[in-house]
Each structure stands twice: as structure tokens, then as C-alpha cells.
Amino acid sequence: MLRPSAEVNEVVGGVLARAVQQSADTVRLHAFTFVSNHFHLLVWARGAALASFMQYLRSNLSKKVGRLVDWSGGFWERRYSAEPVLDDTALVGRLRYVLAHGVKEGLVERSAEWPGLTCLPQLLGSARRLFRWFNWTKR
């Protein structure tokens, strides 16, 4: 299982930001939370763009975070699951679910205490967060 840390969060954020940047016309990221053995995203995607976005994200997370923590292979064994959000009520429910990680498992008392990468600070009004893309060929 992946242990959240400032360095892991920075690498995960860089991979996520790069994936979003490369898919800017076809994928919009609205919310995210990364936990030890999985992650949740709330995205809008045009057509079949979600599959290529997820392939890029998952493979680069495995490579780059794996290199950082000395782990080979994928972190997430299962294929991703995409569930459509059909109305505002479902949207609010999904957002609550994404942001509640750590609390519902009893690991933290409040969502804001979760040490893994999450969009909660930005949703609560903190300054925009920028992530660096690491050039791993030079490491």
C-alpha cells in the first residue's frame, strides 16, 4: 500500500496535472482524492477520451511513484470503474464520497486531515495549487 507523504503527493499531483493538461479539450477534472490503494476522480470526459486519460494517468502513476518508493508493477490491479453522474443529486453524492475518504474509514476525524493528495483545500478556497512535472530521465 502506498503511504501518503509530501513527496508522493507532489509526484502524484504532477502526473495528474500533466494528464489533465494533455487532455484539456476532452477531459475536465472537478474533484480528486488519492488514498493508499486507490483513488477517486470526478471528471467530465468527451466521447472515448476517458479511457486514454485513465491509461496515461494509471501507467505514469505506477512508473513514477513506483520509482520513488522502489516498487515495481502497478499499484492498482483492477481496471478503473467509470460511473456516469446523471443529475445534480448524484453529483453532490459523488462529491461527498470523494471528499469523505479517511473519515468514513476512521483514519482521520475530518476530511481536511487526510495526508494524501486531495482537492479539498482548493474547493475550500485555498490558493490554486501548482504541481511540478519531474523529468525522470535525468534521475
pTM, to two decimals = 0.87
Give the C-alpha distances (Å, rounded to integers) separating 51 from 54, 56, 70, 75, 104: 5, 9, 27, 18, 29
Band the pLDDT of 110: cuts 50, 70, 90.
very high
Q: pLDDT > 90: what percent of the chain? A: 52
- Residue 98 lies inside a defined structural domain of this protein: yes
C-alpha 41/C-alpha 97 separation (Å) is 10
Residue that has been written with the C-alpha cell 467509470 in this structure: 82
Band the pLDDT of 53: cuts 50, 70, 90.
very high
- Residue 74 lies inside a defined structural domain of this protein: yes
C-alpha cell at 21: 493538461
- Residue 138 lies inside a defined structural domain of this protein: no
Burial class (CB in 10 A: 0-12, 13-18, 19+), 69: middle
The alpha carbon torsion through 129, 130, 136, 138 (nearest 10 deg) reads -130
Find the CATH number of the domain harbouring 114: 3.30.70.1290
- Residue 66 lies inside a defined structural domain of this protein: yes
Quick check: 136 and 60 in contact, CB under 8 A?
Answer: no
- Residue 1 lies inside a defined structural domain of this protein: no
What integer is the mean pLDDT of 85-103?
93
Q: What is the pLDDT of residue 138?
A: 58
- Residue 111 lies inside a defined structural domain of this protein: yes
- Residue 67 lies inside a defined structural domain of this protein: yes
The alpha carbon torsion through 68, 52, 84, 106 (nearest 10 deg) reads -10
Number of domains comprising the chain: 1
Q: pLDDT > 70: what percent of the chain? A: 92
C-alpha 45/C-alpha 30 separation (Å) is 11
Domain of 90? Answer: 6-132
- Residue 96 lies inside a defined structural domain of this protein: yes
